[in-house]
Structure 1
């Protein structure tokens, strides 16, 4: 009898799922999408899985952006997951860039890491597009549902005859998007993997794996800068992250966790107090929550008396340089502009 394992795959909208409360052998978590989206909840799930001794993977959701830039985005934000979890390219209708584009993404990741991503797609897409240049090097994780009924884990989920285009077989099968498991009150994608833990580890860390070059890390930046580095994968996971961040670990991890769990209102307060940095740093920390939080920030900024703040700056009440930026937070640009006008 073929060895199988049962598991789930999850995205950012399932942020309230507690992995400790459900049964699973493996979990695959959305890491990135396109060229600018990062799932801020990914790392919390990864750390949970690692702590529980579970197998895990991470995926990039392809859109119509340049495939090489998408691969670079995936790598930069998930760099330290390679060689530990199984990487996946998620190719669906919204990202049908063509198999030539998918191959550019996959080849780029292989060049950077020495790891071959699995390819996730619908069964019909395996037949509608020519995957002959991809199938020999990239195993298939196929999505095919018997129906839309709610279900728990299945030992032998239905797959129709007719194969998978360029692939002779699939190594994983997503058989429901309406999965129901004890411990979570919501739908889950359910999967079966036709392999054992040793095979999973070989997909995660093949003999061709190239570990990223380690360099000394300078931890003198702001908490926000270091948290953004964590979100980009710069500091690794678990014990590796603790070692690299040293005495800064607790403050940085607290900010990472807060960005994933705090309300938009509380995070907007953090932004206005300068705790989440500015520009790209803030975007990386907030990830998929950026627009939600920035909308709250903007509504508050519009209500602030910029003129009064500018006059307080001129009186010296907000200091200079970085001190002024930190204290004014998201109001800095508007206030400084008014200061310049008044002077």
Structure 2
């Protein structure tokens, strides 16, 4: 399937008459910006019986607040349109993969029950370890061969280096210089490797809803709630600073006894059948600070002795 993605920059474009099987529309950015033309553009898409998607352009703010804002704007289309986190620019350093995961958790568990897609460049797919979301959140990747004007392509160029934790992309954006009938400007062009039925499942159609309803409560809790431990590695000595931190899904707690770590991981393994993730974050790449910022926690709590 061939498609385009648009924003307020294409306010004069009639998405119903420009050739496409699907259209992604920018809905929001950060926690304040709403595309003033998104409803009109969405109406053009649905009236033309095309597949619809909305994306949120990630800013550098609180991940949950941005997820809440996005869902509050597009809530009338939940189950009818594919939702996407546009992960680029400042969000890459401000959020990292942990912040993106928290955005998805908020969208799915608290608001929609579905898994949004994620949009990023091919380079960013290899910049972080995306294994925690690659099995649940489909990839829309951007990779261009050139900036030359082009129409739709059936086999766009890829560099062959892969997409990190994803074995393949669901959608490939291969040009920002697309030329199509009924529009005089350039457009982003995309090739979808999924069909209309799979698109509707990503949007939260009947197949996805039935699958979610078949999950037990314990499965949902394990899939939807982040719980992990981490320690901080001193970049100068290449040794741990000695403290293990536990994120319980709501806040970070500094553990002060090795037995606390053992009992947490043992119970997690007994109840979920899985090993709890443990990260080692270095002081010269302070993701532990970025994570605290993303969950809006200014100070780490300390477990009582």
Q: Which runs of 5+ in 2 are unaligned?
A: 211-305
1:113–1:209 CA distance, 2 compared to 1 (3 A): farther
Shift of 1:43: 0.9
Match of 2:4 in 1: 8
1:30 to 4, 26, 29: 26
**Larger of the two Rg values belongs to structure:** 1
Match of 1:71 in 2: 67
- Rounded Cα–Cα distance in structure 2 between residues aligned with 1:149 and 1:115: 37
Match of 2:102 in 1: 104
Shift of 1:86: 0.5
Secondary structure of 2:42's aligned partner: helix
Contact 1:21 1:184 in 2 (8 A): no
- Report 1:122-271 matches (<5 A): 122-206=121-205, 207=207, 209=209
Contact 2:4 2:22 in 1 (8 A): yes
Instruction: Please give the per-residue CA displacement for 1:27-57, whole angstroms capped at 9, x wherever unaligned.
Output: 0000111011111111111111111111110
Query: Larger helix proportion, structure 1 or 2?
Result: 1
1:78–1:14 CA distance, 2 compared to 1 (3 A): same
Q: Give the total of aligned pairs.
A: 206
Contact 1:114 1:208 in 2 (8 A): no
- Rounded Cα–Cα distance in structure 2 between residues aligned with 1:46 and 1:20: 9
Match of 2:85 in 1: 89
Shift of 1:152: 0.5
Q: CA RMSD in A?
A: 1.2
Match of 2:220 in 1: none
Match of 1:18 in 2: 14
1:60 paired to 2:62: no
Shift of 1:129: 1.4
Shift of 1:95: 1.7
Secondary structure of 1:98's aligned partner: helix
Match of 1:288 in 2: none
- Rounded Cα–Cα distance in structure 2 between residues aligned with 1:20 and 1:128: 37
Shift of 1:148: 0.6
- Rounded Cα–Cα distance in structure 2 between residues aligned with 1:63 and 1:205: 25
- Rounded Cα–Cα distance in structure 2 between residues aligned with 1:9 and 1:42: 12
Contact 1:55 1:85 in 2 (8 A): yes
Shift of 1:94: 2.5
- Rounded Cα–Cα distance in structure 2 between residues aligned with 1:159 and 1:106: 27
Match of 1:44 in 2: 40
Shift of 1:20: 3.3
Q: Which runs of 5+ in 1 are unaligned?
A: 211-343
Instruction: Please give the per-residue CA displacement for 1:290-332, whole angstroms capped at 9, x wherever unaligned.
Output: xxxxxxxxxxxxxxxxxxxxxxxxxxxxxxxxxxxxxxxxxxx
TM-score in terms of structure 2 length: 0.66
Shift of 1:137: 0.7
